[in-house]
Chains A and B, each alone.
Chain A
């Protein structure tokens, strides 16, 4: 029987195993170092905050694996021998494979800051990082102040976590506004305000110069590059992005860039070796996507394709329209299609921005300057329907149509206040139009079913 070995039991590796099992009877072995069972990395924060216990963030009960004949091996792969189709686990055990799937995810970036390896300095990626955080910052008595370096999605999650235990947090963000490499300015600024509302000491356009040690090799303070100010602290969180976790492949002969290089079939340069999830790097970026896409959803999508390929139906990885979501403290964020920040803005891209006069709710819709074609939407504090936007993007709808039917896309819970009227009014005023909001139609919404 053919044996498929998967390295990494994250969302990518596990979804691959599940899909392969659905399509075939092949032997499936998952080797992973971090934990015995798959857990949801995206939910680590909720364990520290006390919303859930660690067992709750494991999406499958423990009997699931045996029942589906997915063999789990706990161990670290040090070496892949592609010539003999063998792995070496923990320096001792050899494991042969017929097909190998590399799904080893990422690790936190470290940019060579002085003091980055001191005690009390850590990233937030793994279960081990979570355990370490309980040591470094169990409460506000042990950790009188924490400093977070890097204003991305993980940084703001870490800030929220620490604040849930009343630990004072200073948040160093390199950009002029929070996450404004991705978000248009209006949205970035709204999030700035919200961060301050949560009593987080947000320092914009601020870089870390060095982390200072006390006599025991533990962090004592940090120094800010711009001002030279020294901030005493007991914990430093490094959350300035992630890089593929592929050092163990360096001598394997598999072609590597920042990640494991793959083609559109997710095949690496070595025969019968594939890579998926955070650690895969496309030779050529797909559409506006980046060559490496370290998000939950792409890992999951790649598996559906790869499972087909491994089960005899070789097909290309073709992600559909881009979507993503996150939560900034109390504000939910969703995006469908492409809305670029000032930095990445295309010359044909125009944007329409509406913000609620009082509450932290806003919407940005981007469209093509000449054709008026709808390109994408960012929403904050309003939930939107994935299916509807996906359809509109496929159908190349124009801006007027989207504005007119925006109510169909609303996904807020029942009885929520609607903002479509205000949005339409501002759109009409700004672009000198006479668009009227349609009535919500279940027929249109559920058209595909």
Chain B
């Protein structure tokens, strides 16, 4: 009997575990309640103080909760009971949460007046609560986007800490998370606010810059080259000009170079804000992504359609504000269109010449189809009048993109459906930036996930926890490397693999996808024989 007691105390959880969890949840809820009350127009006397209290409580509550969750546990994979909890197994909890977040996004995008946004005069409600912070940073009153940005950043920071505790044995995950936390706080949140202070000042030669998150690259930032923004850049002296150049270089030089060196993970899992939220706040939902081949087919059609859409739309928008006269502006409507056509054709030709074999058949048909569409539409231009581009009004095209993709897809569905589609629904099905980098990752990149010979036991942890819905196991159990355009390089498949089968790495392109390199354990003669087929 004595031993029984002894190991009972060894095995039993510390008695205070319960109240730690309850109190931490209470604290977080308290913070949320303050914000909610402000939403119902409860007047807080000292808004600065109450806002600080609210944000601190939410942050501290989350961090406390996670500390309690992982303390006293040996470092390692912490996926126990994931599929037993209704919030993370598509149960009632998940659906309720999904509906809740979706509702928030609908209000945010379409009914900001309910958050207290005033067209004239001072803000009220939640937005007013955030006024003091906004004034402190940029000097301006808050907007719904400021509220959203602040909560977003607090979310990434608090859940980022949780994520780092959860994966504290894994330095790749820890460093990567520090990186997204940094980019969100500095680049997405603080710097643009500070820059707003410069508007109208002599540094910008009296011009004013558009709100710019420097790491937010076209086509994710689909509006970056719109007329008012380009005018803003050009009106703001050398700094503005440098930023415009940087924005263009990001698309055509920096992104392709880094994607070649490291795969698209340099952006999707290390820099991007959407990715940052998905990896931190959304981490508990990564297992919900659909791994079926059917989902993969849908993904390829949808995401590539978005690429075509955004390319068309951007071309149309830029086209519509360019002039016809070279004397005013070196770039005219015509040269621009020809430029786009030449660029697309060049990319397409290069792929066809150098990467024909790696291109799966269906992708090839898709590419040909799309290329024809784009070229044909550009052709239409020559038969269409001013203001119209192709068959459409450029303004209409832009508005529908911004509504369908910018708001509904990336916000409402992308984040609101975390508990239903998994945390990377947007990144997988909608993000044109991810699709374009993915295309490059598949064809011109040093990145791959190496499969460790024959060590795979087909357990399925990697596939289950791949947020992009990649059936990692399907490759690993055959001894093949994983080179998939959608892989964001989060590294979780490698982390959860119980047999050390997967390693994200950059290496020579030669032999990267070679399925003949299978080393499943048989002797060399048989391998040669199998490979001859």
A binding-site residues for B, Cβ under 8 Å: 11, 22-23, 40, 42-43, 46, 49-53, 56-59, 61, 145, 163-164, 166-170, 197-201, 229, 231-232, 296-298, 300-301, 304-305, 308, 313, 315, 318-321, 323, 325-327, 329-330, 332, 334, 383-387, 390, 394, 411-417, 442, 445-446, 448-449
Contact = CB atoms under 8 A, between A and B. Distances in A.
B4 A46 contact: no
Question: Counting chain B CB atoms within 10 Å of each CB, which of A319, A414, A416 scores highest?
Answer: A414
A166 B72 CA distance: 14
B521 A297 contact: yes
B526 interface: yes
Contacts of B457: 40, 42-43, 296, 325
Contacts of A304: 520, 522, 526, 530
B523 interface: yes
B454 A442 contact: no
A57 B459 contact: yes
Closest 7 pairs (CB-CB, A-B): A449-B511, A386-B453, A330-B76, A383-B500, A43-B459, A50-B81, A201-B7
A49 B514 CA distance: 36
Contacts of B327: none
Contacts of B75: 330
B81 A164 contact: yes
B493 to A, nearest CB: 11
Interface string B207-247: 00000000000000000000000000000000000000000
A442 B508 contact: yes
Contacts of A323: 453-455, 521
Question: Counting chain A CB atoms within 10 Å of each CB, which of B6, B453, B494 scores highest?
Answer: B453
Contact of B452 (A59, A330, A383, A394): A383
Nearest to B173: A413
Contacts of A168: 7-8, 11-12
A229 to B, nearest CB: 7
Nearest to B13: A166
Given A40-B459, A166-B11, A414-B505, A387 B4 contact: no
Given A332-B498, A416-B171, A448-B517, A61 B453 contact: no
29 contacts: A23-B533, A40-B457, A42-B457, A43-B460, A51-B464, A52-B460, A53-B83, A163-B11, A166-B11, A168-B8, A200-B11, A231-B3, A296-B458, A297-B455, A300-B521, A304-B530, A315-B526, A320-B521, A321-B521, A323-B521, A330-B74, A332-B500, A383-B503, A387-B452, A411-B450, A413-B171, A415-B171, A446-B507, A448-B511
B524 interface: yes
A145 B10 CA distance: 13
A46 B453 contact: no
B458 A40 contact: yes
A51 B79 contact: yes
B304 interface: no
B460 A40 contact: yes
Contact of B519 (A49, A166, A386): A386
Nearest to B6: A201
Contacts of A448: 511, 517
Nearest to A196: B10
Nearest to B514: A449
Contacts of B458: 11, 40, 42-43, 59, 296
Interface residues of B, number: 70
Given A42-B459, A51-B464, A166-B13, A325 B499 contact: yes
A164 B83 CA distance: 13
Given A57-B459, A168-B11, A416-B172, 11 more contacts: A199-B10, A201-B11, A320-B521, A320-B522, A332-B498, A332-B500, A386-B453, A386-B519, A387-B452, A387-B519, A414-B505
A384 B503 CA distance: 10
A166 B530 CA distance: 47
Contacts of B520: 297, 300-301, 304
Contacts of A43: 457-461
Given A329-B74, A446-B511, A201 B3 contact: yes
A56 B503 CA distance: 22
Contact of A50 (B79, B474, B529): B79
Contacts of A170: 3, 7
Given A325-B455, A329-B74, A445 B172 contact: no
B453 A387 contact: yes
Contact of A229 (B3, B10, B82, B523): B3
Nearest to B2: A229
Interface string B167-197: 0011110010000000000000000000000
B98 interface: no
Nearest to A411: B503
Interface in B486-533: 491, 494-496, 498-500, 503-505, 507-508, 510-512, 514, 517, 519-526, 529-530, 533
A446 B508 CA distance: 8
Contacts of B77: 51, 330
B11 A386 contact: no
Contacts of A296: 457-458
Contacts of A308: 526, 529
Contacts of B357: none
A390 B75 CA distance: 30
A390 B520 CA distance: 11
Contact of A318 (B7, B511, B525): B525
Nearest to A232: B4
A201 B2 CA distance: 12
B460 A57 contact: yes
A170 B533 CA distance: 52
Contacts of A57: 459-460
B84 interface: yes
Contacts of A383: 452, 500, 503
B533 to A, nearest CB: 8
A409 to B, nearest CB: 11
